[in-house]
Structure 1
Amino acid sequence: MAGNEAPVRADESAAGIPDTAGESANLAQWLRRWAAETPDAPAIRQGALTLSYRALDDAAGRAASLLTSHGVGPGDHVSLIMPNVAYFPIVYYAILRLGAIVVPSNPLLKAGEISYIWQDSDCRVAVVLNLFAPDAELAAKDTGTDVITVVPGEFDQLLAGQEPDTSVAERSADDTAVILYTSGTTGRPKGAELTHANIGSNVATMVETLSHTGPGDVVFGGLPLFHSFGQTCAMNSAVYAGAALALLPRFDAEQALEIVQDDKVTVFLGVPTMYMALLAVKDPQRFDTSALRQCCSGGSSMPVEVLHGIEKTFQVTVLEGYGLSETAPVATFNHPDRPSKPGSVGTPIRGVEAKVVGPDDQEVPVGEIGEIVIRGENIMKGYLNNPTATQEAMRGGWFHSGDLGRMDSDGYFFIVDRVKDMIVRNAFNVYPREIEELLYTHPAVAEAAVVGVPDAVHGEEIAALITLKEGEAVTEDELREWTKERIAAYKYPRIIRFGEIPKGPTGKMLKREIKIG
C-alpha cells in the first residue's frame, strides 16, 4: 500500500454483536445463557463422555465455589494447566464467572518455566491435572502458589460436594479475562493481556461471519485449549454459539478422523501440520467425513499443495486465516462469502485494520514485502508488567506482528515469513516459505522446513530439513538438484538433511530448535 492510501479495514458495522453497553461483558455469561435456553444440548464431548450445557454450567458453578474456598475473587490470577479434557472448560468458566483471570499454560512446561509465569503473573492459585502435578508442585515451593490437583474421579466427587455458585461477576469490557504467555522466542515469555472485549469481539466475528457456527454444530477440539487459537476459535466460539466441542486430548490424525466420523464434526480447526497428518493417514476416505462443511487453518501459513490436497480428499473448503496471541487471535481471514485465494490469509476481519510497513513504519506499495501491522477491537491491552515491550510492539498505535508479508491489489494479505526467519545470503533476502512451497510439490516430501545457518563466506547459507512420505525415497543430492532447476541460484538449499521436524504444542514447526551443521 503506497503513499497516503487508507489501510485495509473490515466492515465496521459489527452486525450481530450484542450491544453490551451498560451490561457485564463477562464471557462466562455465554455458558449461563445456553444452560438456560438449551440445557440438554451437548456442550462437551470427550470419548464416551458427553456434558450437556446444564451439566457444564453446574460443574463450572461448583468449581467456582471450590475456587472461592481457596480465596479466589475478582481480579485474581488463576493458573490452569491441563490438556484438552473436559475439566479444562469447567475450570476456565469457573474462573471467569468469579471475575478472576485465567492464566493457561502448556502442560509440558517444566518447574522453572512454570515458576517464572506464576511469579510474573502473581498467580496465587493453580488448577493442575494430576499427570502434570509434579512440576507444578516443585514450582509451588518457589512461589507459594496454592495448587489444586485434579485427579479424575476424585475431583468429580470434590465438585459434587460443593454448592454451585450460580452468579456471574460483573466485568467491564476492558477488564482482563485471560493472560497468554508468548512462546518466548526472543528472551523471556511475555504475558499478553486479553480483555473480555478482545476475546468477545473475536469470538462473535468468528462465529457470525467466518464459521457461521450455531446450535447443532460440532466443532473439532484438537487444538490445544491453552493456546489462543483453540481457546478462542474452538472452545469459546462453540460456547458462544451453543454448539458442541468434541475434544481430543492429544492430536493423532487417525483419532481425529474417528472423532469427525463418530461425532459428526461440522467445523474442523487445525494448523497446517495437522492437515498434513490427515493426508498422510492410510486411505483417509475410509472415514465418513460427510458432516464436515468447513475447515479453517491458522497458526502458520499452509502450503498450497496441502490446501488443495485436503479439499480434494475430503471434499470440503479450507479457509485460511492469520493472527497471533496478541490479536486474540484472528486478524485476517478468507471469508466464506468472498473469493478465496490459495496461499493468502485473506482480508481483515470485522472491526480490524491491517497494513504493510517498511523499517520506517511507513506503508509500502501494493505487492511489496514489509512487516504486517494491525489495530482494532482484537488487540491486547498490553504485556503484563512490561510497559517497554508493550510500547515497542504498539508503535504508532499499531501492533507490530513481526511477520513479513505483502498485500495484493484486492486487499488480500500473504504471509512471507517471520522477520526473524528471513535469510540474508550474499546480501539477497531469501524467504524460507517460498522454498518450502516448492519442496512440497516434490512427490517424496511430506514436510519441509527451511532455515538459515551461519556461513563465513555468504553470511548465511540456506538449509532444509525434510521429512519424507512413508515408502518414498530420494537422496540429498537428487533433491538439491531438483530444487536448483526450479528456483533462482541464490535461493536453492545447499544443505539438505532428512529427519523429523520439531514441533510445538499446537503442531507449529519450531524452526528455532532445528540444528543443522
Structure 2
Amino acid sequence: MFLDRLDEHAARRPMAPALVRGDRTIGYGAFMTRVDACAAMLRGQGIGREDVVGLTIADEIDHLVACLALMRIGAAQITLGTQDPQPVRDRLAARVGVTRLLGAGSSVAVAGRAKAADEAPGQADHDRPAIYLPGSGTTGDVKLVSLSQSQIATQAAIAYADYRGERILQLAPVEYNNGKRLRLYCLYHGGACIFRDGSGVPLTQLCRDQGVTWFDLSAYLAHDLVRASAQHGGLPDFTAVRIGGSRVSTALRAEFRARVCQRLYISYGATEIGGMPGVCMAAPEELTPDAEVVGRPLDGMEVVIVDPEGRPVPPGTVGEIRMRAPGMVTGYVGDAEATRRFFRDGWFQPGDMMSLSADRMLTFHGRADDMIILNSINIFPGEIERALESHPLVAEAAAYPIASGVHGQIPVAAVQLRAGAALAERELLAYARERLGVRAPRKVTILAELPRNGQGKVLKRVLAEGRAGGG
C-alpha cells in the first residue's frame, strides 16, 4: 500500500529527488535506505507493532524518516509537537495510549504495550492505525482521527494526483497535521518535498531557486505574501498556488492573483475526508469576483447539500454539506458524542454551509454554528465579511454573534486592516450599513491581527469571548 509505493519509487527512480532543503537533495533510494535503517534501530530498541509512539522531533527530514520507519514496523504514532506545552502533549499521549516517546535520536518507554485506541483484532499492518491526527474544527477539545496506510494511499490517489513528479512547497511544519499529510501525499506520487532551510530567503526567491511547481499554503500566509510582494515581487510563472484550510475571501483571491500569482487554485476539504483538496478544487478560470466558489467535487467524491432535517435541497440552495469518499475516516478516536454529531449514515457532515449549482460548482457560505439569528432573521457571517472586505482598506473580516436577551443574537464583526491603513470603526459601521441594511453588524472592532489557531483558521470563539486585543 503506502510504503509499497515509496519502495517502488526507490527501486525504479533511486536518484529522483524526494526531499530538498537548501543545497541538499535526498533521492528516493537514499531516503528509503535511511528509513529502513531507522526502522532497524527502533526494532533494536524494542519498539514493535503493538506500540503507540509519541513523536517529538522538530527537524522535518528526521521527523519524516521516523514517521515512515514506524510505519515499516507497524507501530502507530502521534505527533507531540515541540511547539506545544507539556500538559497538551501529555493529554494527547493519554488519549491514544502512547507507550513510547521518540525524540531526536532516542526513545523512552512510558507504559506497557496495549492495542492502539481503535484497533480491531487481527488487522493487517496496512489497515491498522498508522497515524493519529487532530481533526477539523476550531471549537472544543481537539478531535482525533486515525489513518491507516491504506487510507493514506487511497486519499493520495483520489485527491493529489497533481503532485505526481512535481516539486511541492508546503509551509506548515511537518509536526502539524497538514504539514505531515501533504508531504506523505507528495511522496506517494513520487514528488519532491521542498523545505525551507532557515536562511531567511524570501519565499518568492525560494520558489525560483528550487523550481517549486506547486505551493500549498493557508489563507493567512497568503496575506503575508501579498504584503511582501511590494518588496519581493510575485512568484515565478511556473509556480501554481493552492490555498485552503480556511475561508479564502474574494478580496484576497483578487489581490493575490493581481500581485503574487495568477495560477491560483482554491481548495476545500477536511482531515476526516482527505484534507485539502480532499473534496474539491477551483481552478483559476473558475474563480469569480462575487462568490466564494471552491470547485466541483473530485472524482470519487460524493457530495450532497441538505436542510436541517437531512433532506437534499434544490441546486443553488444553501444548506449543510455532506460528503463521503473511499479512504475517509468513520469516526473520532475515543469520542462517541462527536462521532454521532458529525458522522451520519456513512456520511461526514462538518457543519459547513454550502450551495451546489446545477453544474456542480460548490460555493462556501460559512459555518452552520456561526449562523447569526437576529429577530428571526438568518444572517450568514459571510454576507457581513464580504461586505466589509470590499472596503479597500480592509484585509480580512470575521463576523460572529453576541447573545441578546431582546434580539436573540446581535451581529458584530472584527476586522484586520491592510498594512499601514488607518480607518475609524464608525466609518466601517456606516460602510456596512449602506450595503447590508438591517443585516449589518451593530459593532465593528479593528484588531492588529485576527486570532487564529495553528492551522490559520480564525478563532471566532476567542473574538466572541472578548479575548482578542484591539489594534
TM range (shorter): 0.7 to 0.9
Give the direction of change, closer, same or farther, for the CA distance of 1:70–1:185 in structure 2 (3 Å limit). Answer: farther
Partner of 1:14 in structure 2?
A: none
2-side partners of 1:392 and 1:72: how far apart? 36
Equivalent of residue 359 in structure 1, options 296, 308, 324? 308
Give the direction of change, closer, same or farther, for the CA distance of 1:93–1:284 in structure 2 (3 Å limit). Answer: farther
Deviation at 1:299, TM superposition (A): 0.6
Q: Are the equivalent residues in 2 in contact too, given 1:480–1:496 (CA < 8 A)?
A: no
Partner of 1:213 in structure 2?
A: 163
Partner of 1:111 in structure 2?
A: 86
Q: Are the equivalent residues in 1 in contact too, given 2:159–2:274 (CA < 8 A)?
A: no
Deviation at 1:281, TM superposition (A): 0.8
1:482 aligns with 2:431: yes
Q: Are the equivalent residues in 1 in contact too, given 2:355–2:363 (CA < 8 A)?
A: yes
Q: What are the residue-to-residue correspondences of 1:328-477 with 2, within 5 Å?
A: 328-329=274-275, 330-334=277-281, 336=283, 339=286, 343-477=292-426
Q: What are the residue-to-residue correspondences of 1:205-284 with 2, within 5 Å?
A: 205-208=158-161, 212-215=162-165, 217-232=166-181, 234-248=182-196, 255-283=202-230
Q: Deviations over 1:57-96 (max 9, x none)?
A: 1221222123223322225322223446211211111111
Deviation at 1:381, TM superposition (A): 3.8
Equivalent of residue 134 in structure 2, options 181, 197, 201? 181
Report the 3-state secondary structure (helix = DSSP H, G, I; strand = E; otherwise coil) of the residue aligned with 1:334: strand
Q: Are the equivalent residues in 2 in contact too, given 1:84–1:221 (CA < 8 A)?
A: no
Which ranges of structure 1 fall in alignment gaps of 5 or more residues? 1-24, 147-169
Give the direction of change, closer, same or farther, for the CA distance of 1:444–1:187 in structure 2 (3 Å limit). Answer: closer
1:127 aligns with 2:102: yes
Q: Deviations over 1:463-492 (max 9, x none)?
A: 222222222111111111111111232233
Equivalent of residue 51 in structure 2, options 42, 62, 76? 76
Partner of 1:6 in structure 2?
A: none
Deviation at 1:249, TM superposition (A): 7.9
Partner of 2:70 in structure 1?
A: 95
Q: Are the equivalent residues in 2 in contact too, given 1:358–1:371 (CA < 8 A)?
A: yes
Give the direction of change, closer, same or farther, for the CA distance of 1:467–1:458 in structure 2 (3 Å limit). Answer: same
Report the 3-state secondary structure (helix = DSSP H, G, I; strand = E; otherwise coil) of the residue aligned with 1:79: strand
Letter in 1 for 2:187: V
TM-score (norm 2): 0.87
Number of aligned residue pairs: 454
2-side partners of 1:59 and 1:99: how far apart? 17
Partner of 1:516 in structure 2?
A: 466
Give the direction of change, closer, same or farther, for the CA distance of 1:335–1:513 in structure 2 (3 Å limit). Answer: closer
Partner of 2:21 in structure 1?
A: 46
2-side partners of 1:250 and 1:192: how far apart? 31
272-281 or 189-198, which deviates more = 189-198
Q: Are the equivalent residues in 2 in contact too, given 1:85–1:249 (CA < 8 A)?
A: no
Partner of 1:201 in structure 2?
A: 154
Give the direction of change, closer, same or farther, for the CA distance of 1:513–1:84 in structure 2 (3 Å limit). Answer: farther
Q: Deviations over 1:17-73 (max 9, x none)?
A: xxxxxxxx2x22233222222222221122343322223212212221232233222
Report the 3-state secondary structure (helix = DSSP H, G, I; strand = E; otherwise coil) of the residue aligned with 2:34: helix
Letter in 2 for 1:318: L
Letter in 2 for 1:109: D
Report the 3-state secondary structure (helix = DSSP H, G, I; strand = E; otherwise coil) of the residue aligned with 1:283: helix
Equivalent of residue 56 in structure 1, options 24, 31, 47? 31
Letter in 1 for 2:264: V
Letter in 1 for 2:278: A
Q: Are the equivalent residues in 2 in contact too, given 1:278–1:284 (CA < 8 A)?
A: no
Q: Deviations over 1:355-413 (max 9, x none)?
A: 11122211122222221111121320422233443333222221121212221221122
2-side partners of 1:493 and 1:408: how far apart? 32
Aligned sequence identity (%)? 25
Letter in 1 for 2:195: L
2-side partners of 1:240 and 1:247: how far apart? 17
Q: Deviations over 1:117-163 (max 9, x none)?
A: 11111111223459xx9xx99xx9xx6599xxxxxxxxxxxxxxxxx
Tell me which of the two structures has the higher relative contact order, counting C-alpha pairs closer than 8 angstroms and 6 or more residues apart: 1
1-side partners of 2:295 and 2:50: how far apart? 36
Partner of 1:4 in structure 2?
A: none
Q: Are the equivalent residues in 2 in contact too, given 1:228–1:328 (CA < 8 A)?
A: no
1-side partners of 2:199 and 2:342: how far apart? 32
Give the direction of change, closer, same or farther, for the CA distance of 1:498–1:383 in structure 2 (3 Å limit). Answer: closer
Give the direction of change, closer, same or farther, for the CA distance of 1:508–1:389 in structure 2 (3 Å limit). Answer: closer
2-side partners of 1:308 and 1:83: how far apart? 35
Deviation at 1:353, TM superposition (A): 0.5
Give the direction of change, closer, same or farther, for the CA distance of 1:186–1:314 in structure 2 (3 Å limit). Answer: closer
Give the direction of change, closer, same or farther, for the CA distance of 1:57–1:303 in structure 2 (3 Å limit). Answer: same
Letter in 2 for 1:47: G
Report the 3-state secondary structure (helix = DSSP H, G, I; strand = E; otherwise coil) of the residue aligned with 2:369: helix
Give the direction of change, closer, same or farther, for the CA distance of 1:230–1:188 in structure 2 (3 Å limit). Answer: same
Deviation at 1:282, TM superposition (A): 4.5
Which ranges of structure 2 fall in alignment gaps of 5 or more residues? 114-122
Partner of 1:19 in structure 2?
A: none
Partner of 1:308 in structure 2?
A: 254
Q: Are the equivalent residues in 2 in contact too, given 1:285–1:314 (CA < 8 A)?
A: no
Give the direction of change, closer, same or farther, for the CA distance of 1:457–1:250 in structure 2 (3 Å limit). Answer: farther
Give the direction of change, closer, same or farther, for the CA distance of 1:486–1:326 in structure 2 (3 Å limit). Answer: same
Deviation at 1:288, TM superposition (A): 5.5
Give the direction of change, closer, same or farther, for the CA distance of 1:484–1:375 in structure 2 (3 Å limit). Answer: same
Task: Flag as ranges the 4+ runs of structure 1 deviating above 6 A.
Answer: 249-252
